[in-house]
Amino acid sequence: MKIAIEPNARLEFEKAVLAGGGEPAPLSEGVKALIWTDYSQPKLLRKTLAENPQLEWVQLPFAGVDAFADIIGLQPLFTSAKGAYSEPVAEHALALFLALGRAIPERVKAKSWGKKFAVSLYESQVLIVGAGGIAKEARRLLEPFGCPVTLLSSTDIARLKDELPKADFVLLACALTEQTRGLIDSEALSLMKNTAYLVNVARGPVVVTADLLVALEQGEIAGAGLDVTDPEPLPDGHPLWDAPNVIITPHTADTDAQVVRMFAERIRRNVEAFVGGGEMIGVVDKQLGY
């Protein structure tokens, strides 16, 4: 079965299509499946779909599909890479937890001995907003620390206000939807302990940046670790760069090498399912939007 790879047909992805029993081919009337490789070009994907109504299946490159929110309601079956990058992203979240609790942002810049300070992750209350692959992998990584972990799925979001005051560490690992956009605002931040830490590996707009900045500056929370921001990239000179006890990483929870390898495996498995009539992984729920 012929399968197109657009707009960037890397050799690793072509090999994955072949390994799944498909045949890489240029997009034409006879091609019914499309591997889309560029998250930053949703308009081009919309144009491609309009010009190719024969397409039955589209594989999207990342777990988050918010860039394609106005597209995923269209006719083809869409699959995302949700769950594919869970391990490195959860690892990054754990690293941010540990670095914040040990005041690494402050100590890495220090030129004098300073005061003693440390917050242990062991047996700390952890709240994870999200219940997908990243959230589940993070919970697994936290097991050696003996942390009581609470996961809030999309159907549990109403419990957020009840759970935030209990948490020592809060991890955002949810999809960006209308339900979660601006979820962590001034009210949510005010409910957190002033000794609690916030880590965001979801999407920047899940947090209201201006409210987070105020919370950090006024000591409403102890610190934040952000692999995603709003806006993104965070501009040079933005006040968040100078906020107290914040770690900002440039959306690098998963490296390019990891993404290519893991996405290639997702392509292989879904091509195999598409060709053989099996069950596909990461099917996008058109109602939920992820």
Annotated catalytic residue, options 232, 238, 261, 272: 232
| Residue 232 is among the residues annotated as catalytic for this protein | yes
| Residue 203 is among the residues annotated as catalytic for this protein | yes
Annotated catalytic residue, options 92, 139, 203, 266: 203
Task: For residue 153, count CB atoms less than 10 angstroms from its CB and return exposed for 0-12, middle for 13-18, buried for 19 or more.
Answer: middle
Buried b (16+ CB within 10 A) or exposed e, 265-280: bbbbbbbbbbbeeeeb
Annotated catalytic residue, options 102, 181, 251, 261: 251
**Contacts within 8 Å (CB) and 24+ apart, 136-140:** 136/86, 137/86, 137/87, 137/89, 137/90, 138/90, 138/93, 138/94, 138/171, 138/173, 140/90
| Residue 29 is among the residues annotated as catalytic for this protein | no
DSSP classification of residue 48 = H
User: Among 204, 233, 172, 159, which Cα is nearest to 66's?
Assistant: 204
The set of catalytic residues is 203, 232, 251
